Structure 1
Amino acid sequence: MGAISPKLVRMGMFNNWDVSGGLSDFWGYIREPRPHRWTSWGVAIAFAIVLFWGFSKYLIPYEKPQPQIIYFENWTANRSEAEVHADWVARAKETTRENAKRRAEFQKLADMMGVEYDSTEADKVTRETLGEEADALAKSSTAAPPKRSTLAERAARRPQPAPPAQK
């Protein structure tokens, strides 16, 4: 009984919706004076409110976030300018070292894909920052990528079919 008959759809019964008759009947039923009309409305509304509140409260429980204590590096107030500067330089060198390693990985990827990748400007900054350590990083990370053959080279190496036998 759940499906709509195709015959009824073709006849046009479901093409023109008119709900005004149903709404007027509902309004007329509500307006009739009944002895417990307001009590039943109050119970129905209270039940709906309790139902929605219960779903919102218990169906998807919300846990209040617990307070967290986050510690951060604290420096003494009497640090000298030289100590502050040395700390900045150490952090900058570490960042430059990480960037050089990442750049070397991108260079390997570019070499394998046959894409031109120019990092000379960044390498110059790395050498200025790290000095001789930059050359050691460059040597350790620039291992030659494996030589990959092209499609044409592989086709040329494939065994050629034997010529047909002559009679």
Structure 2
Amino acid sequence: MMSTVDVTGGLSDFWDYIRQPRPHRWAVWGVAVALPIFIFYGFSKYLIPHEEPKRQIIYFENWTQDRSVEEIRADWVARAKATTLHNAEKRAEYQRLADMMGVEYDSAEADQVTRETLGDEAALAAKKKPEPPKRSTIAERAARGAQAAPAATPATDR
């Protein structure tokens, strides 16, 4: 059907149409060129705005030059313990989510590392399920409201 495409005839017709003197030829060309430029500028400027990077102040720890090797290692161990505790808390959250969804999630090896690093008490504290906030019943709120409500002042018409 369209095995051979010949565009030369269409291009020659277009060129002949452009070359003919028409009264508003340059105004139409100006609008035809300016309108896409204006649209592309609007898209680039307002649709996807470019935000200048904001200044950031980054603080870092500054150590003295005379720190001993033991102090450096103690700091490393403290950071490692804090990271392990954070990971254990996140792992416990994922375990609770997996239990709710019925998905198998085995963290036995990671829990063993946590117990070795932090001790049994800290590992159990990290796995401890946080208590949901206690919600009062409607009756309790009504009882508190009656006690805490100030005496109503009589309304006067002015």
| TM-score with structure 2 setting the length | 0.51
Deviations 1:81-115 (A, max 9, x none): 33333332222112211222222233334445555
Choose 1 or 2 for highest CA Rg.
1
Deviations 1:5-64 (A, max 9, x none): xxxxxxxxxxxxx988765544333345x4x89x945x5444444333333334543445
Matched residue, 1:57: 41
Matched residue, 1:29: 17
Q: Kindly, what percent of the aligned residue pairs are identical?
A: 48
Paired residues of 1:100 and 1:123 also in contact (CA < 8 A): yes
The RMSD of aligned alpha carbons is 4.1
Paired residues of 1:104 and 1:142 also in contact (CA < 8 A): no
CA distance in 1, matches of 2:107, 2:72: 31
Q: 1:78: how far off?
A: 2.0
Structure 2 residue 112 is the aligned partner of structure 1 residue 124: yes
Structure 2 residue 80 is the aligned partner of structure 1 residue 92: yes
CA distance in 2, matches of 1:97, 1:124: 13
Spell out the pairing of 1:8-157 with structure 2 (5 A cutoff). 24-32=12-20, 34=21, 40-41=25-26, 43-58=27-42, 60-61=45-46, 62-78=49-65, 80=67, 81-112=69-100, 116-137=104-125, 140-141=128-129
| TM-score with structure 1 setting the length | 0.49
- Provide structure 1 residue ranges, at least 5 long, that are not aligned to the other structure: 1-17, 144-167
CA distance in 1, matches of 2:84, 2:62: 24
Aligned residues: 123
